[in-house]
Structure 1
Amino acid sequence: MLGVALGLVGAFVWIRREAYIATTPRGDELGIRNNASWDRVAQTDFSPSEAEGEAGEVRPVITVPTPPTFPSQREGEKPNTDGASSQSLTPRLSSFVALPVPFVSQAPFRVWDLPYKEFCEEASMLSLHYWKQGKPTPPADQLDRDLKDIQSWEVANLRTWDDTTADETARILREKFGYTNTKVVRGITIAEMLDQLAHGTPIIVPAAGRELSSPYYKPPGPLYHMLVVIGFDDERKEFITNDVGTNTKGAGFRFTYDDLYGAMGDWDVTLGAPDTSKKVMIVVE
């Protein structure tokens, strides 16, 4: 009798188990996806790390893991990557990046007449050059010589030196400084800018200076400006920049995603003004 009773109990448990399995939705029916790659990432220690630069310098990159999420994405759809949005639009492992790019002022002696008030492109290039070489910002007299050395090269090779376009700036970086992999990326989105920075690459962007909300510009601000973007704070939706158009206050200066992106625009020679429909960035790989 005991054996029969145990057999009946076992059969009852088996029937209940099968009924549960048959009526329980599968994980994919609930919207759950197995993301093995993120599981591996989540098990990694993401303490602040240091990345080795091309010239052997050590470049700290501060990162915090952020899981990839696309709230409006349905199965089979591509994620929304509208660059005009201030939201994080690409899966990144970093929610905060601040690259230690040397700050350079375009006016080393705090004199803002010619040629210094037009040296934003030259100063931005020098900032990236010092970064690539693992060098700190030099003393003012050396920085002054470096800025004027670029100006001389521009006059000899471009027949102009003020208000250089993104293409002209990239040419200087390739031909004068030897960074042959320099490129101009056109029609960029906020997400693409964040992606470059998250991979440890600072970028140069041209902009309509009078549309930037910096309290450190002498009114009405520069018609055309160029500056270096060195990181971002995704929680606050801010780009971190080295704004060369200041004496010192531009080091690590923050613009909101929408503020900087909205002001960005390449110089249009025909218009004699920046064109904010031309969203470009200069990348030195």
Structure 2
Amino acid sequence: MKKIYVLLLGACLSSLPFFFAIPSKAAALNERLSGRILLSVEEHGEAWYIAPVTKSRSYLGHAETALHFLQSKALGIKNAQLFEIPTESEVLQENTALRQRLSGAVLLQVESHGEAWYVNPTDLKRYPLKTAEDALFIIKTFGLGISLSNLSSIPIEQTIAGAVSLLYPPFVAQAPLGDWSDPRQADGCEEASTLMAIAWARGEALSPQTALNKIIEMSDWEESVYGYFRDTSVQDTANRLLHQYEHFDTYSIENNANAERIKQVLAQGNVVITAINGTLLGNPYYRGSGPLRHMILIIGYDAAQDEFILHDPGTQFGGSMWFPVSRVENALQDYYSGDQVPVGPPRTAMIVISKPT
């Protein structure tokens, strides 16, 4: 399991030297920001790369995936030309036309050992891109903050390299402000998963305070209508929380959920709410062995690593976690609705969430 690197960035976003919001002007943002790395400041600092050729954005994922993705975009260059682009410690004034033409590009040193370099648009110097640490340094040092509305105006080319993924859904834990003593929050995985999925589908932000208010309101409504709020099956989560409470109807329920079908659904541009046996998932941030009845939001698939990317509301650190596909599939387990009723026979199901047309 690997955590997305943007979580590592979260604690240091305020120290980024180029971290500021971008005003919306007449000139197309994707033209002005060609070659830049952008950080979504209104979410979790997710990093995107604006390709100089297509002027579209690609989601970078965690540090290792960002490295492989950026290297996959590299243009071959001979040493004679490469050496006209200064490194960080060099001062060269010649051939500024070449440097401007390659601004924001990733270059592959074909006459050496295939070393990769990133040409930073702000100083037109080249920086090594050999390791995941190099990729993280470039993102932290040169990443530029951007609002969600401005980011959304830039077309998407693809997301994670070698992977199927989506526009990044907001993450909230089921105890958004950390009050796990409240049973409505301690048992709020269905509500939290629903809120994250709907916020993504509607293109809305989801702050921890808003999520807390909604989880409490939803749980109180369930208590008044059904007599309990704990543990709702996939079918009941869809019918009660999505349809009845949120009046959200662009979803479908599929029984016999499995890994291959989840991959297909993600490739079609949808996210997946599914029920699991948390004791089989192996999330290291769970208290104890984890919840027997649990619900998560699957947001992507990393084909290179054969891992699902998911939001797990059962921990404050559950945003964008990578787990092996085999482990997630093994953990799939729907359960009966009710307050601590038996889980029931082995079965799987999922809710496919689509964006309204």
Q: Does 1:154 align with 2:222?
A: yes
Please give the alpha-carbon distance, in whole angstroms, between the structure 2 residues aligned to 1:158 and 1:101: 29
Could you tell me whether the CA contact under 8 Å between 2:232 and 2:337 is conserved in 1? Answer: no
Q: Equivalent residue of 1:160, what SS?
A: coil
Partners of 1:180 and 1:265 lie apart in 2 by 24
Equivalent residue for 2:158, pick from 53, 62, 81:
62
Aligned residue type for 2:214: D
Cα deviations by residue, 1:57-85 (Å, 9 ceiling, x for unpaired): 668573589xxxxxxxxxxxxxxxxxxxx
AA aligned opposite 1:264: L
TM-score (norm 2): 0.53
Cα pair 1:183 1:283 within 8 Å, conserved: yes
Higher mean C-alpha deviation, range 171-180 or range 118-127: 171-180
Deviation, 1:268, is: 2.9
| Counterpart contact for 1:61–1:200, Cα < 8 Å | no
Q: Does 1:228 align with 2:297?
A: yes
Q: CA RMSD in A?
A: 2.7
Aligned-partner Cα distance in 2 for 1:189–1:145? 33
Deviation at 1:98, TM superposition (A): 4.3
For residues 218 and 185 of structure 2, what CA distance do their matches in structure 1 show?
A: 12
Question: Shift in Å at residue 275 of structure 1?
Answer: 5.0
Q: Specify the SS of the correspondent of 2:315.
A: coil
Contact 1:101–1:128 (CA<8 Å) still a contact in 2? yes
- Write the mapping of 1:14-25 to structure 2, written as runs, cut at 5 A: none
**1:256 counterpart = 2:352:** no
* Code of the aligned partner of 1:254: W
- Could you say what secondary structure the match of 1:231 adopts? strand
| 2:259 alignment counterpart | 190
* Aligned length in residues: 205
Deviates more, 1:198-207 or 1:155-164: 155-164
1:166-206 per-position Cα deviation (integer Å, ceiling 9, x unaligned) = 11100120121122242220012211100111111011010
User: Does the 8 Å CA contact 1:98/1:240 hold for their aligned counterparts?
Assistant: no
Shift of 1:99: 3.3
1:115 deviates by 2.3
Deviation per CA, 1:221-258, whole angstroms, max 9, x where unpaired? 112110100001011110000111111x2110111101
Residues in 2 aligned to 1:262 and 1:189: alpha-carbon distance in whole angstroms: 9
CA distance in 1, matches of 2:308, 2:261: 13
Pairing of 1:45-124 with structure 2 (within 5 A): 48=57, 60=156, 62-63=158-159, 95-113=163-181, 114-124=183-193
Structure 1 CA distance for aligned equivalents of residues 344 and 298 of structure 2? 19
Question: Of residues 197, 209, 227 in structure 1, which corresponds to 2:278?
Answer: 209
In structure 2, distance between residues paired with 1:48 and 1:278:
39
* Residue 165 (structure 1) aligned with residue 165 (structure 2): no
**Cα 1:284–1:64 shift into 2, 3 Å:** closer
Structure 1 segments (4+ residues) deviating >6 Å: none
Per the TM alignment, residue 109 of structure 1 is displaced from its structure 2 partner at its CA by: 1.7
CA contact (8 A) 1:265 1:276 kept: no
Can you give the 5+ residue segments of structure 2 that lack an aligned partner in the other structure? Answer: 1-53, 60-151
Distance 2:196 2:157 in 1: 17
1:267 aligned partner? 335
Are the counterparts in 1 of residues 180 and 186 from structure 2 also a CA contact under 8 Å? Answer: yes
Q: For 2:216, give the aligned amino acid.
A: K
User: Contact (CA 8 Å) 1:266, 1:278: kept in 2 or not?
Assistant: yes
* 1:102 counterpart SS class: coil
SS at match of 1:167: helix
**Unaligned stretches of 5+ in structure 1?**
1-44, 51-56, 66-93
Q: Normalized against structure 1, the TM-score is what?
A: 0.65
**Aligned-partner Cα distance in 1 for 2:167–2:222:** 28
2: distance between equivalents of 1:238 and 1:60? 22
Task: Give me the whole-angstrom Cα distance separating, in 1, the residues matched to 2:345 and 2:251.
Answer: 22
Q: Deviations over 1:13-66 (max 9, x none)?
A: xxxxxxxxxxxxxxxxxxxxxxxxxxxxxxxx8x7569xxxxxx668573589x
1:115 aligned counterpart, secondary structure: helix
Which of 244, 260, 274 lines up with 1:175 in the alignment? Answer: 244
Matched, 1:200 2:296: no
Shift of 1:153: 2.2
The Cα shift of 1:142 comes to 2.4
3-state SS of the aligned residue for 1:223? coil
